[in-house]
Structure 1
């Protein structure tokens, strides 16, 4: 698979494995099925159960179109909304273990997701998706037109990337990361966190562990914390950093 080298804002080079065309298509199909299922279900409910067709019978075309568009807006804006809320993932991407990331090391933002969503029409609804597929397989960082415009790409978080030198600790082969935003840390940040963590853990300095966790959450911008225990949380952060990072 294609390797994508990303230089983070802390000048740390990280190699990610680009999602394959097959993974991206399957993720899209899962999302497409979800959107179609919602659209069919809501329209059947409105027209068959609530007899909505009687309500709009005397409306003009644009009024009818506007109401239908509002009703179907969750399906229309499904991708851009979920990618914004789930840090570059939709349900399909989560199932396929892929994620949208910025190739300049910064975190992808709402304008980036909107740009990708807007260009999707050109990428996959023109010539039956040929343009998008050709771009993905021919560009150096596996980008479709929307990715090029937004400065993003789609990576696979399913397989362990090659790490030439582990600066923190060894990981199990099947290890999967939890917090992709650890790429915001530098090597020096990770070493300081590890040293402080080990000293505080061994001496049972819970106050320091709490402060350390709060600082990590602030810097890494963790939106959802899966681990409630401070030791477990910091340990996962260190493992995730080890997963993503290699010395160049």
Structure 2
């Protein structure tokens, strides 16, 4: 389920979970996607130029073979760059990372190699006749700003938001649990899918109605107790318990501290 299209500005994409809780994602507009594409195009062009220069020097005695091989290498670098980075960086290339954009599945979860390959192998069609005119028109008319490759792969491009660590997790009791090696080790064993759900809930909790919010975190709280094989501390609500796990998943204490500086700010609504 999506909102009405907003061709040039950012729009919204709404995902309804099996628990009937809605999550809203801010769709990337054409302008930000174009800037990200320019950055990636420059990187690919520079990379190809360096490779082809070395190739032509090495095969200077075989100009015909060097020219044919140059075309093959260009397409391999062009496609391989996006497919490799979007797979390794969960939907981001250098350009998308600089612009805080990310490719995700329409269901709201991260993409894998299959989705990255499918959406990028369709680029030759999206590029027709020049400068992504077909892809741009497709995104302009699509409710979710999808070019043909995105439609084929079932993906969307969204704006990324950073996790805000709530001030409620700054008490000595929670800090003590965050220093518990057993708790941290069990949290780190959570699957990628479980981490995605936890972070999505933490990021977008302010967008939910109170009833949906209570229902979502009640379900997550119970599942986390089973997954971690640990009882939830009695003084913590299901929501705070889930947010505590999200905090423990952050990469380092220093990263938690930097995010902690944003505690009093509310997430930006799309």
Residue 103 of structure 2 contacts residue 110 of structure 2 at CA under 8 Å; is this kept in 1? no
Residue 92 of structure 2 contacts residue 103 of structure 2 at CA under 8 Å; is this kept in 1? yes
Matches of 1:227 and 1:215 in 2, distance apart?
14
Change (3 A) 1:72 1:41: farther
Residue 250 of structure 2 contacts residue 256 of structure 2 at CA under 8 Å; is this kept in 1? no
Aligned counterparts, 1:214-229, within 5 A: 214-216=188-190, 219-220=194-195, 227-229=251-253
Instruction: Decide which of 151, 154, 178 is 1:151's aligned counterpart.
Output: 154
Instruction: Decide which of 75, 78, 91 is 1:75's aligned counterpart.
Output: 78
Deviation at 1:83, TM superposition (A): 0.5
Are residues 1:6 and 2:30 paired? no
Change (3 A) 1:206 1:146: same
Change (3 A) 1:34 1:69: same
| Cα deviations by residue, 1:175-202 (Å, 9 ceiling, x for unpaired) | xxxxxxxxxxxxxxxxxxx7xx984534
Residue 99 of structure 1 contacts residue 154 of structure 1 at CA under 8 Å; is this kept in 2? yes
Work out which structure has the larger RCO, using CA pairs closer than 8 Å and 6 or more positions apart in sequence. 1
Are residues 1:31 and 2:31 paired? no
- What residue ranges of structure 2 are gaps of 5+ in the alignment? 1-9, 200-248
Are residues 1:133 and 2:142 paired? no
Deviation at 1:31, TM superposition (A): 0.6
Match of 1:210 in 2: 184
Match of 1:124 in 2: 127
Deviation at 1:46, TM superposition (A): 2.8
Deviation at 1:104, TM superposition (A): 1.3
Match of 2:55 in 1: 46
Residue 13 of structure 1 contacts residue 245 of structure 1 at CA under 8 Å; is this kept in 2? no
Change (3 A) 1:30 1:57: closer
Match of 2:246 in 1: none
Residue 8 of structure 1 contacts residue 105 of structure 1 at CA under 8 Å; is this kept in 2? no
- What residue ranges of structure 1 are gaps of 5+ in the alignment? 161-165, 171-193
SS of the residue corresponding to residue 93 of structure 1 reads: helix
Deviation at 1:244, TM superposition (A): 9.1
Residue 15 of structure 2 contacts residue 23 of structure 2 at CA under 8 Å; is this kept in 1? yes
Q: How many residue pairs were aligned?
A: 203
Deviation at 1:25, TM superposition (A): 0.9
Match of 1:21 in 2: 30
Change (3 A) 1:230 1:209: farther
Change (3 A) 1:65 1:206: same
Provide the alpha-carbon RMSD of the alignment: 3.9
